[in-house]
Structure 1
Amino acid sequence: MELLSLHDAIDRFVPDGASVALEGFTHLIPFAAGHEIIRQARRDLHLIRMTPDLIYDQMIGVGCAAKLTFSWGGNPGVGSLHRLRDAVENGWPRPLELDEHSHAGMAAAYCAGAVRLPFGMLRGYADTDLAAVNPAIRSVRCPYTDEALATVPAINPDVTILHAQRADCAGNVAIHGIIGAQREAALAAKALVVTVEEIVDELPPAMNAVLLPHWVVSSVVHCPGGAAPSYAHGCYARDNAFYKDWDAIARDRATFSEWMDRNVMSKAA
């Protein structure tokens, strides 16, 4: 594990063409890391996220992404992701390949990746038509019951990026609050970068925490506020007003581009 600046962590672990998972569920969404990827002008990325929201709208809107693997995409409580829609419907600023799954399908794929199996299995696609539009969804016969089970290829990102409340000096990371697919995405990745609110000498005991041991962590980045405008449980609240404002910002290409230049491109990591 190395303690790096945000700039250096992204420079080292996110090359052009990489598959990148920025996970976090309602909170601890690694916005700061996504913004640094944008500033470093990464291209042809395969973005992976169970619930892509504003940070992926921004990354797609500036042309970072060539492909998106996801299970739901939107501005939570507000509406569509307009930059995502523009890329899919109009190819602006570039065409975007979609690999769509259900939440259960994504979870199975991450779990398979975490234990280094080639695919995950689930019943969740029974009697649905998603397989008709996603050729990656296939099936196998159970050797014990002859039941048909849906399969999804394992997800093994080149790098997973998470945000957490704290890490200790050895690189052990503690995540508190709602946990989505962070643990599975971390264990499935070839490299793991974690931005944290604080670095402490010793992690305090906490209920309902997920601990990522230092040997699975490639780099820790001290990045206070790294999840804003999402929230970090116990640290700061969600900026609900910004999520509402984003709808108008993202609808228009020129307004979006001007906002990104002013609020992301001109900011140093």
Structure 2
Amino acid sequence: MAEFLSLQAAVSRYIDDGDTVAMEGFTHLIPFAAGHEIIRQAKRDLTLIRMTPDLIYDQLIGAGCVRQLIFSWGGNPGVGSLHRLRDAVEQGWPNSVEILEHSHAAMACAYEAGAAGLPLAVLRGYVSSDLPKVNPQIKCIECPFTGEQLAAVPSIRPDVAVVHAQRADRQGNVLIEGIVGVQKEVVLAAKRSIVTVEEIVDDLGASVNACVLPSWAVTAIAQAPQGAKPSYALGYYERDNAFYQAWDEIARDRERFQAWLNDHVLEQGAVS
């Protein structure tokens, strides 16, 4: 059953150095507040997983938290590159980061397989692709029924899943509204999960066929108002497009990035 903790306590208790951490949220509900708390607590040697690593992973990498990145696309949406990611991969600053690149389809299948407790996911997507040449996680298998050659990837079963949602009720059930990516699958696949929410309510007000994470699937819930900014949370606030544009210049320069990190993350208190 989910327990209610401060964000500081949840990250301290459930994320350890060396863990594999999947922080998901597609376009909106990206868990920025949780990522900033990981930076403040100076977690190290993390393997980060995300279908579309964008600004929060750029910040975590630049802060020296990351050893490996498993992903399917990386960039500043609508703007360009992730300069802290590029610097880590190309120049080893602040430390070298190993990358394993997949397709979106493969990662979605791998999360689903992890949620089902399966060891691998099978798909056609890598046939005639060059990714198997650079990613040793991609294997070729033969279908035992048809003889067809298929691709297989290991299921994703992270140590910790971190997602943001609109609200939780006092029993620990969580409602996700709007664009739903793989938040449900990553929470079900993970050993432990931290869910940050805009608010805690008596009644979720969930509509028919709503995406609700049941309390038994969630380890910890932390209230974090505006915890997805500068991405958006449907029904609460809009995307801060100006910040995504500004990030391109902030992240290009190491000293400017470090100054931003100090002013906007390290000197800011954790969300309680």
What is the root-mean-square deviation in Å for CA atoms of aligned residues? Answer: 0.7
Specify the alignment match of 2:217 in structure 1.
216
SS of the residue aligned with 1:198? strand
Partner AA of 2:215 in structure 1: H
Counterpart position of 2:48: 47
The Cα shift of 1:208 comes to 5.6
Give, in whole Å, the separation in 2 of the partners of 1:162 and 1:208.
20
TM-aligned CA deviation for residue 157 of structure 1: 0.7
Supply the AA of the counterpart residue of 1:226: G
What code does the residue aligned with 2:219 have?
S
For the 8 Å contact 1:176–1:208, the answer to whether it is kept is no
Which residue does 1:153 correspond to in 2?
Answer: 154
User: Could you give the per-residue CA deviations for residues 221-240 of structure 1, whole angstroms, max 9, x where no partner exists?
Assistant: 01110000100011100000
Deviation digits for residues 100-129 of structure 1 (CA, Å, limit 9, x no counterpart): 100001011111111111100000111111
Aligned to 2:17: 16
Deviation at 1:180, TM superposition (A): 1.0
Runs of 4+ in 1 over 3 A off after TM superposition: none
1:115 is aligned to 2:116: yes
| Cα deviation digits, residues 204-252 of structure 1 (max 9, x gap) | 0325631110000001101110000100011100000000000000000
How much does 1:99 deviate? 1.0
> Is the 8 Å Cα contact of residues 177 and 208 (structure 1) preserved in structure 2?
no
TM-score between the two structures when normalised by the length of structure 2:
0.98
In structure 2, how many angstroms separate the alpha carbons of the residues matched to 1:181 and 1:202?
24
Question: C-alpha offsets along residues 136-184 of structure 1, whole Å, 9 cap, x if unaligned?
Answer: 1002111110001100001111000000000100100010000111111
Match of 2:137 in 1: 136
Residue of structure 1 in register with 2:90 after alignment: 89
**Native 8 Å contact 1:19 1:159 kept in 2:** yes
CA shift at 1:46, angstroms?
0.3
The alpha carbon displacement at 1:202 in A equals 1.4
Deviation at 1:192, TM superposition (A): 1.1
Give secondary structure in 2 for the equivalent of 1:263. helix
| Structure 1 counterpart of 2:103 | 102
Aligned to 2:75: 74
Q: Distance in 1 between matches of 2:181 and 2:102?
A: 16
Do structure 1's residue 36 and structure 2's residue 40 form an aligned pair?
A: no
Cα deviation per residue 1:11-43 (whole Å; 9 max; x = unaligned)?
Answer: 011110000011000000000000000000000
SS of 2:129's equivalent in the other structure is coil
Q: TM-score, normalised by structure 1?
A: 0.99
| Structure 2 runs not aligned, ≥5 long | none
Identity %: 63
For 1:209-248, what aligned pairs fall within 5 Å after superposition? 209-248=210-249
Measure the CA separation in 2 of the matches of 1:18 and 1:254.
28
Q: Distance in 2 between matches of 1:123 and 1:215?
A: 34
Return the alpha-carbon distance in structure 2 between the equivalents of residues 68 and 198 of structure 1.
Answer: 31
CA distance in 1, matches of 2:216, 2:140: 35
SS at match of 2:226: coil
The alignment partner of 1:51 has SS state of coil
CA distance in 2, matches of 1:53, 1:36: 17
**How far apart, CA to CA, are the structure 2 residues paired with 1:220 and 1:171?**
7
Contact 2:122 2:152 in 1 (8 A): yes
Segments of 5+ residues of structure 1 without an aligned counterpart are: none
Contact 1:177 1:209 in 2 (8 A): no
The CA distance in 2 between the partners of 1:88 and 1:120, in whole Å, is 28
| Residue identity opposite 1:124 in structure 2 | G
Name the counterpart of 1:198. 199
Whether the 8 Å CA contact 2:175–2:206 is kept in 1: the answer is no
